[in-house]
Structure 1
Amino acid sequence: MQLASREWYARLRIGPLRGAGLCGAAALAVHLMSGAAQAQTLGIATMTPGSLNHTTASAIARVLKEKAGLNVLVQPTAGESVIIPLTSRGEADIGIANSLEVRVAVAESKLSNLRLIGAIHPLPTAFFVRKSTPLRTIADLKGKKVVYGFSAQRTIDIVMRAILATSGLTPADVSQVLVPNVVRGADDFVAGGVDAFYFAFGAPKVREVDATVGGIRALAIPEAGMEAARKVFADGYLAPAVPNPFFIGVEKPMGVYTWDNLLFTNATVKDDIVYKVIDAIVKNKADLVTIQPALRALTAAGLHISHSVPYHPGAVKYFSDNKIGIRGAR
């Protein structure tokens, strides 16, 4: 099987809703105002604990506090559909979301204040089933109960349609069980409400589910089906995965559905702060990885991707100072 060559990806190897978002935004605003007299305070809006992005935000917050002298608050929200406009409005200083979610949010809501910091790491994902079942491929999901809807992560449905398309399936071919976000979908899976859930590799929740149900399996995606998938979502690709503690559920070398995870801010954040954020995470990668193994894929060059969202001037200066050119999609 020929997978896209990803030298950076090998670094991964290791030896409801709206109301909740607004409440979180209010709490964050109070925190930021109370800290105005302090040195520097940043709020990082992310998803709920147990998600890949929450762990990533926690790692970044720790490094920024310990290495860059910044006071940082990690602010969980219901999902990426909340995080992006929250950050654009300046109610959070930094946000983390996948590239598709960012593209759609900007296209639909005209978030003119949103500014990109960079692509922090690839986002490898999968449909997971119980290891005790005979289900092994995406085609086996036909007629099964599968998480769907994702009202707080609206673009996940687009990704799921792309993955189903690799085996000639559509959402109509599965029994859809509506959930607000991936964490709730995993909880429903544990409770027996669905046959398959969708999540990113490296998230603590995946490890938790694996231990709770006695083992899970990542469903295989046929490379031949990627042409059909790209008609749904052009930026998705298969990246190599092998059995190891990061890729829980991978039983043999296979390709896993992947795209980029982005770090972004807004136009009101000072240039020197954004510059300091990038400089700190690049220089202290080893510290980040102790908390979030997915950040093994982080590189200064990898941050600077081509995207429809404009870069923050602080990021532009960092890339210019370090002679880092822009690259195309992975």
Structure 2
Amino acid sequence: MDNLTLWDFKSLLRQTEDNLGGLLMKFLCTAAAFSVAALVGSTASAQNVGIATSNPGSLFHNIGTAVANAANANGLNTTIQPATSPNQFIPFVNDGGIEFGVANLQEVNYSITGEAWWNGNKNENIRVVGQLQPLVEAIFVRKDSDIMTVGDLRGKAMTDGYTAQNTILPQLSAFYATAGMTRDDVEQVSVASVVAGANAFMAGDTVGFIFAHGAGKVREADAAVGGLRALGVDDTSDAALAAARAHWPTAFFKELKAGAMPGVLEDDTYIAFPQVVFTHAGASDEAVYQMAKAMYEQGKVMGETFPPMRAFKPADMRGDIGISEFHPGAIRFYEEVGLK
């Protein structure tokens, strides 16, 4: 402890707080999930179902809220249950503890095969309900800083670690790869989650943080520091995309126009990837059918709840999901409306 610097102490305190918060949310999610599961009835109109999301302020919390509102508008009584990240709540959905969840497709696929941070632990009961609009991501810095590109982050303090959100490090590495960099090229400041990373940035501990466009936490940070700059990829060539996909296989490049989101100061290109609503193999066919139907029919409600979801296209719900499988209840709905 004699050699503990002020920064070390702040970092340790922040990680301890985040980890304790993650454990608490995990406990609450588990308890609420089993409570919700016990209430499931025999018909869709009588069913109470839960959607697992990430913490408030995160993109998946906003998306889960929007999906729940769409389901409620169609008569499926739905509540959201927050946890720290999908790598914590996917196993609960897999085991039938809660009916639905929202996550990116790559993490869902890894969870099924047991690859990457799942360390061989397979969640083979996971099934997809439908695809949502793509998640578009950026590294954010202060608008008034001299950091204009990802390459300008070399040697500077950046959020890293993401001990409670394993999905973020390879996404961060994908961004660095487009600039010919690795995580070793920055000064790594360990945080537990993207929300904690944004907090570290606002506290002045880092020069930047990674987050999804459209999330409430990004808007909070934008207001807190007097404006953000969203760094796009440094190189949009096929070689750069291949370098990014070496870290995040479902990645693709997507252009946003100036002013489209906080921090997008000029037309620029960012990393994007598919995201999905998922369930488990034992979920009621009728409940899954009704959830797919609600998403398909209530896109307006989702867009009103969370404006970035105005990019959602019902016709894309049955897109390519890689090694994942659609739940039979979802397939029944898609066949009814002619989605191949």
Structure 2 length as normaliser, TM-score? 0.86
CA distance in 1, matches of 2:64, 2:111: 20
Match of 1:25 in 2: 30
Shift of 1:36: 5.6
Q: Which residue identity is paired with 2:113?
A: A
CA distance in 1, matches of 2:130, 2:164: 23
CA distance in 2, matches of 1:281, 1:34: 22
Shift of 1:142: 0.5
Shift of 1:301: 2.3
CA distance in 2, matches of 1:151, 1:125: 19
Greater shift, 195-204 or 23-32, is seen at 23-32
CA distance in 2, matches of 1:287, 1:113: 30
Q: Which residue identity is paired with 1:287?
A: V
- Secondary structure of 2:158's counterpart equals strand
Q: 2:298 aligns with which of 284, 288, 300?
A: 284
Q: Which residue identity is paired with 2:109?
A: R
CA distance in 1, matches of 2:177, 2:123: 31
Match of 1:158 in 2: 170
Residue-by-residue CA offset, 1:73-95 (whole Å, 9 max, x unaligned): 11000111112111111111100
- Secondary structure of 2:134's counterpart equals strand
1:320 aligns with 2:335: yes
Match of 1:40 in 2: 47
Q: Which residue identity is paired with 1:248?
A: P
1:311 aligns with 2:326: yes
- Secondary structure of 1:21's counterpart equals helix
Q: Which residue identity is paired with 1:284?
A: Q
Q: Which residue identity is paired with 1:229?
A: A
Residue-by-residue CA offset, 1:34-66 (whole Å, 9 max, x unaligned): 57699210110000111111111111212212x
Q: 1:61 aligns with which of 68, 88, 111?
A: 68
1:120 aligns with 2:139: no
Contact residue 236 and residue 257 of structure 1 kept, 8 A: yes
Shift of 1:226: 2.3
Match of 2:109 in 1: 103
Aligned residue runs from structure 1 range 239-318, under 5 A? 239-244=254-259, 246-306=260-320, 307-318=322-333
Aligned residue runs from structure 1 range 164-175, under 5 A? 164-175=176-187
* CA 1:276–1:117: 2 relative to 1, 3 Å: same
* CA 1:256–1:191: 2 relative to 1, 3 Å: same
> Alignment RMSD, CA only?
1.7
1:228 aligns with 2:243: yes
User: How many percent identity over aligned positions?
Assistant: 33
Shift of 1:279: 1.1
Contact residue 39 and residue 47 of structure 2 kept, 8 A: no
Match of 2:188 in 1: 176
1:93 aligns with 2:99: yes
CA distance in 1, matches of 2:183, 2:253: 21
Q: How many residues align?
A: 308
Contact residue 162 and residue 232 of structure 1 kept, 8 A: yes
Match of 1:13 in 2: none
Shift of 1:187: 0.6
Contact residue 160 and residue 188 of structure 2 kept, 8 A: yes
CA distance in 2, matches of 1:263, 1:105: 14
Q: Which residue identity is paired with 2:151?
A: A
Shift of 1:31: 3.9
Match of 1:4 in 2: none
Contact residue 46 and residue 80 of structure 1 kept, 8 A: yes
Match of 1:143 in 2: 155
Contact residue 130 and residue 318 of structure 2 kept, 8 A: yes
Contact residue 117 and residue 264 of structure 1 kept, 8 A: yes
Shift of 1:251: 0.9
Contact residue 176 and residue 182 of structure 2 kept, 8 A: yes
CA distance in 2, matches of 1:68, 1:274: 13
Residue-by-residue CA offset, 1:178-200 (whole Å, 9 max, x unaligned): 11110110011101111110000
Contact residue 69 and residue 305 of structure 2 kept, 8 A: no
